[in-house]
Amino acid sequence: MPESFFSILECELLSRSSFCSQADARKALFAFVEGFCDPLRLHSGLGDRSPIGHERRFHHDQASPMTSPPEHVH
């Protein structure tokens, strides 16, 4: 996954831009990361769900009642 991110970063941002200062580069990098990691974008590592959808599913699953009663220890 990191290799994919850095490949996209290099191709989409770094090879297409030049920066006047480190501050400008940081701003562009921040904007890129915020766009790339968009909470609505589907991620294959999350079962082709968005981070928001994945989180909702997680919390839903945590709140669901258990399908079998807990074992009692005597």
- The Cα 1–Cα 46 span in angstroms is 12
pLDDT score of 74 more than 60: no
More confident position, 23 or 67: 23
The pLDDT score that the predictor gives to residue 26 is 92
User: Contact at 8 Å (CB) between 29 and 17?
Assistant: no
For 13-61, write each residue's pLDDT tens digit. Answer: 888 889 999 999 999 988 888 876 677 778 788 888 888 888 888 898 8
The pLDDT score that the predictor gives to residue 23 is 95
